[in-house]
Chain A
């Protein structure tokens, strides 16, 4: 039986940087084995310097491993056929400041072999998708951080790739923009695209990722689906609408005790909104006409 073709796969991938002047070697990534299936949204988590960006750069062929190999849809990262199927948004993206939004997308589109009416139609489509109508004729040097992130997403998608690498896509973006990027990732998932992204915003990762890998000091220390990793198998949470009066609470405690649940193991609490949910709800309510 043929082995399945993963959207991205690494086998024992290792990257070391020698520090000649300190006579030591920094291991940026240590023997990473990772498989991302087509159509999955995969989150790379970890503190700064844990190996997330190194993993992405190795998968893109921007840097070369000391050991192991990386494969994109079964091909080496240097293979142009593999590159045709990937899109990349780097961390804190900088583009040519002298180009306008339209010129930037034309430049990247032409690099991917798009021309003429097809390219124009694709640019129009992406400008609508990332809501950047007001930036089409402006040079990128006048863009805000959020606008740069959005043009970055548009250029990553210009050739309609099957696999997207997003390195800290929400870094420095306001919660509104951050939520738009989250929605976009969900939309890409619905379209059957594979998305591999790194982020520090754990709540956002939780909202969009099917699976995550947690990195620390260049090593993958945990990997799995969010359902598996986050479900507390030792407890069950019951939610009821409205406020629980003392009388009702006593009644519930009695019922639970009859079933054998007593003492400190039984807890009552009120569900809380996340700060992001509160912010978005408030700002969006203000914007309603």
Chain B
């Protein structure tokens, strides 16, 4: 069973890699990340903060495009080209086929996020090098440099600030959380594509659900913050919505990391667990619908 899922996953990844549209998207992401350092800011710490915001934003945006677009075209293409017939006539269960396709997309997302993260790390490293050179140049031309211990301490403090800002281990948490969000978006698209009849419908509906997922907590804040004002209907609607649509806004915790605030690992693990459970539920629903779909 695992073997068949992996064979389909490998083929899905190979197909996506050989598709030029996704390569162009990925290239666009890499260029965006690389270009971020050219938007110069006054202070070096602001510049690094900008690069980090821009980099994570680019990974998230390009990643979600890859996740939704690649999943949305999977089933319609298989059905249109009738390639699904030859596969399902082999000793392959429908659930294995769907799971194989999904694992293929997850592998593609892993590859894309890894490549964009490497580019992101390279840009940050370059920023660090530039920043350290600028700080050193500032201090070297300061009168008393090399003689005053106070000046040396200030220099070391500034250097440590840049290094800590760039080499923030919490960035690993941020990338993991972005990745988890992308996997959830792919699972949403997979669920929609099992009952959708077209690529466009899948893309639009998934984007809709994705946006609702982002606005869900805002609606809860507005309607339920003053408990007495929220009607029973509003409460029930929000409860139903939070059950059906994952709360994507929880992942804005990435912004806290980018602002330099400490986000404990247990919080990240909680969110990763939440995304794994939701992905599992969305996939189980997809399997159920696909099992009974006429092909």
Contacts and interface: CB of A to CB of B under 8 A. Distances in A.
A238 interface: no
Chain B interface helix/strand/loop/mixed: helix
Interface stretch (A109-117, A125-133, A209-217): A109-117
Contacts of B85: 57, 60, 62, 88, 90
Contact of B83 (A57, A80, A95): A95
A145 B265 CA distance: 57
A45 B149 CA distance: 97
B3 interface: yes
B11 interface: yes
A87 B7 CA distance: 19
A96 B4 contact: no
Contacts of B295: 62-63
A111 B83 contact: no
B86 A113 contact: no
Contacts of A110: 3-4, 7
A155 interface: yes
Nearest to B97: A111
B3 A113 contact: yes
Contacts of B93: 80
Interface size class of A (residues with CB under 8 A): 20 to 34
Interface in A153-175: 155-156, 159, 165
A113 B4 CA distance: 8
A254 interface: no
A152 B92 CA distance: 18
A112 B91 contact: yes
B15 A90 contact: no
A183 to B, nearest CB: 23
Interface hub of B7, B86, B87, B90 (most chain A Cβ within 10 A): B90
B91 A93 contact: no
A98 B83 CA distance: 13
Given A88-B89, A93-B82, A96-B11, 12 more contacts: A57-B85, A60-B85, A61-B88, A94-B81, A96-B83, A98-B14, A98-B19, A99-B11, A108-B86, A111-B4, A111-B8, A112-B90
